[in-house]
Structure 1
Amino acid sequence: MSADGQIMDSSSRTLEKLENENNKNGSVKQVLLDGCVPFSHQVAGHKCGINNTGVLQHPDGTILKQLQAPPRGPREMNFYTQVFAKDCTDKRLLDLQQHLPKFYGTWMPRESPHELYLKLEDVTRRFLRPCIMDVKIGRRSYDPFASKEKREEQISKYPLMEEIGFLLLGMRVYQINSDSYITHDQFYGRSLGKDTLKYGLSRFFHNGQELQRHAVSLIISKIRSILRWFEIQTELHFYASSLLLVYEGSPHTINKSKHKPADPATEHQQGEPQSKALSFQSSLTHSRPYCHDIQHERNTNGKHGGSIEEQDEEIGMGDKKQFGQEETVEVKMIDFAHVFPSDSPDESYMYGLRNLLSTLEQILKD
């Protein structure tokens, strides 16, 4: 796709394939913004832009997250830009890349050229029946520069955040018997106390028949890898950031069996839809680059350099990978509107990671 949002032939073919799949399932997604459609796997996060749809899916398989109001949106864009800069030499940031969705620059739709979107990897794309959970990490969900009112508001939403160190923002879990999904939103997560947290978290790994113990074990391994990165870095502090946990819900995928996608119309929604309110702070005075003297480079397709064929393979338009054990789960850090430079370890985020790991390990032991 060109920078102005014009659809290329390969993207058009992908869109046609997506629409055909939706038609077969009896549910036609609304096509918006140069062939983009609402992202069907969003379990939490802000919703804004055209028709308040939230995250969009581009015909080439990437997802589009609209930039939030300043300073949050520009701060998040700056974070991705610096981490994925081609000439970044900061080893800590280069190591961090493996724990984030790939970043392909920014994108603007022809219909709304005043809107700017982050173009990101869809980490659910390789899964046939993705089970997805968004977990906010850290002892507090407000940054050091938040107003007193903002701090009180965030604390009141989940007073246990300081003690527990994480909050379930939403989940979507595939159920084998009904070939459908159950969902839980942020209100479910906030209803969990210290005595019910382990049970609430374990529901994410239950497919209606049994606990997916292999998924728990593999996700623990990936979270430990993220914790190791935090234990050796002192450059950044993350506030109100999340982990996106994904595992394959289909029992047939590892055996390479074909299985039609579950009909979104059969989902069971529990609670109300989750929405993160936009902040209209007007200053970027507390942000600075994370790699010095680095400019973000992207070609006319709004992506980093490299051939179109290489980029298409990167973002998922090539053949899907064969599934092995490691490929049945994924854990990525997301939401970086409140990332700030520091010169000390991020104890708050590590506290949350360690408590999450401890809870997952207890689930495995039971």
Structure 2
Amino acid sequence: MGRRRASKPLLRVLYSSWQVLLYRILQHPDGTVLKQLQPPPRGPREQEFYNKVYDSDCCDSILLELREYLPKYFGVWSPPTAPNEMYLKLEDVTRKFNKPCIMDVKIGQKSYDPYASAEKIQQQVSKYPLMEEIGFLVLGMRVYHVSSDSYETQNQHYGRGLTKETVKDGIAKFFHNGYCLRKDAIAASIQKIEKILAWFEGQKQLNFYASSLLFVYEGSCQATTVRLSDVTLAEKRGVPKGLLSGGDILEYNNNIHLINSTENGKIEASVSKGLSKFYALHKKAYSKRHHSQLSLKVENLEQDNVWKSSTCITQEHLNGNVIPQLEKVFCHMPAEIKESVNVEVRMIDFAHVFPSNAKDEGYIYGLKNLITVLQNILDN
């Protein structure tokens, strides 16, 4: 999607936001995103799909349930200076995340629709010959690494280079934050895909081609924050004064907004920036007081509930290495809170959706294969 600065002075271009590395998405000042309508017949077909699903008079239970798995739709929008340019106005699925990790996965055994020409079919098949066998294709990903406080990006060439033997490791890369595998995010993703699969198993109205799943999870350890008031030592004299105070801020939606004030009078430090301070805290405290204790109370912002039991890291068990202990805290969450992990899995891209009287077996096949791969990553 091109950027037209002159005609859209009030809009902002989001790089690598929704469609990962494939498009530039415009952001409306109200926080929604604008996807430019594609040329006919694709654009009108996608608009018709959204209009049908989000029709205010819709009473079809299948379509009403489908809304749960899509970004919210707010109609069509045109800039005042270019009324002939049409945009789909959609929910920004990444907006609530501090450090969004994003992956776009095309689902189905065919990336071409039933009306595609022989030339189009050949073109699509040649892009990824394994699509029919694997049932999905990684179109791109963007992963936040806690260790370097930076993002790693992979484009569509990365996904097309994955084979049957390497696809598991290729997807696992999306869930690794530089310290550990985010098993909590994998488990939550599987649960959400299973719900989408159940919807497909129960409907015979629509078939989807060249459509994707958009995965988003919180890179700064499941949108958890470490409240400074909750980071204490049993003996305060072991804590260097001012070690955890100062300029930590929450970065909102990948540099779109910065929260430089505190909520409810409490300073909140993102985990990504707090880890280095934990190391400093550990090193200083360990040298001064071998048996002091560091208590970490981790709070889930989305649910605003404290874990049933706070996690304590005892210095005498650290043995000079805090990373394994932090992995236990942030990367291996209790089973009972996996549902509340800050993860989104939404269906996107509907330029090739067609009426049907049979189950969408190609899409179902892709979902099942993807679940199997994710489960194998989780089990291993």
Query: Aligning the two structures, in what range does the TM-score lie when normalised by the shorter sequence?
Result: 0.7 to 0.9
Q: Does 1:161 pair with 2:152? A: no
| Distance in 1 (alpha carbons) for counterparts of 2:86 and 2:170 | 36
What residue number does 2:357 align with? 343
Task: Choose which of 210, 231, 237 in structure 1 pairs with 2:180.
Answer: 210
Q: Does 1:177 pair with 2:152? A: no
Task: Choose which of 242, 251, 256 in structure 2 pairs with 1:260.
Answer: 251
Q: Does 1:96 pair with 2:66? A: yes
Q: Indicate the percent of aligned positions where both proteins have the same amino acid.
A: 54
Q: 1:31 to 1:130 in 2, by over 3 A?
A: farther
Q: Is the 8 A contact 1:136 1:167 kept in 2?
A: yes
The one-letter amino acid of 2:153's match is T
**CA-to-partner distance for each residue in 1:250-275, whole Å, 9 max, x for gaps?**
037323654335977xxxxxxxxxxx
| Distance in 2 (alpha carbons) for counterparts of 1:128 and 1:31 | 30
Q: Does 1:251 pair with 2:221? A: yes
Q: Is the 8 A contact 1:101 1:333 kept in 2?
A: yes
Q: Does 1:353 pair with 2:367? A: yes
SS of aligned partner of 2:212:
strand
Q: How does 1:305-344 map to 2 (within 5 A)?
A: 322=303, 325=337, 326-344=340-358
SS of aligned partner of 1:225:
helix
| Distance in 1 (alpha carbons) for counterparts of 2:254 and 2:359 | 45
SS of aligned partner of 2:250:
coil
**CA-to-partner distance for each residue in 1:186-211, whole Å, 9 max, x for gaps?**
00000000000000000000001100
| Distance in 2 (alpha carbons) for counterparts of 1:175 and 1:263 | 13
Q: Is the 8 A contact 1:180 1:262 kept in 2?
A: no
| Distance in 2 (alpha carbons) for counterparts of 1:103 and 1:158 | 31
Task: Choose which of 91, 102, 109 in structure 1 pairs with 2:79.
Answer: 109
What residue number does 2:296 align with? none
SS of aligned partner of 2:179:
coil
Q: Does 1:234 pair with 2:204? A: yes
Q: Is the 8 A contact 1:31 1:37 kept in 2?
A: no
Q: Is the 8 A contact 1:43 1:185 kept in 2?
A: no
| Distance in 2 (alpha carbons) for counterparts of 1:349 and 1:120 | 23
Higher relative contact order (CA 8 A, sep 6+): 1
The one-letter amino acid of 1:154's match is Q
| Distance in 2 (alpha carbons) for counterparts of 1:229 and 1:262 | 30
Task: Choose which of 47, 51, 60 in structure 2 pairs with 1:77.
Answer: 47
| Distance in 1 (alpha carbons) for counterparts of 2:22 and 2:186 | 27
More strand by share: 2
Note the aligned Cα RMSD (angstroms): 2.1
* Alignment gaps of 5+ in structure 1: 1-29, 48-53, 265-319
Runs of 4+ residues over 6 Å off in structure 1: none
Q: 1:32 to 1:183 in 2, by over 3 A?
A: farther
What residue number does 1:38 align with? 13
SS of aligned partner of 1:244:
strand
Q: 1:34 to 1:192 in 2, by over 3 A?
A: same
Give the number of the structure whose alpha-carbon radius of gyration is greater: 2
| Distance in 2 (alpha carbons) for counterparts of 1:67 and 1:190 | 26
The one-letter amino acid of 1:187's match is H
> Deviation of residue 94 (structure 1)?
0.3
What residue number does 2:277 align with? none
What residue number does 1:56 align with? 26
Q: Is the 8 A contact 1:44 1:186 kept in 2?
A: no
* Alignment gaps of 5+ in structure 2: 228-248, 256-300, 306-336
What residue number does 2:260 align with? none
| Distance in 2 (alpha carbons) for counterparts of 1:31 and 1:39 | 17
The one-letter amino acid of 1:335's match is D
- Residues matched between the structures, number: 277
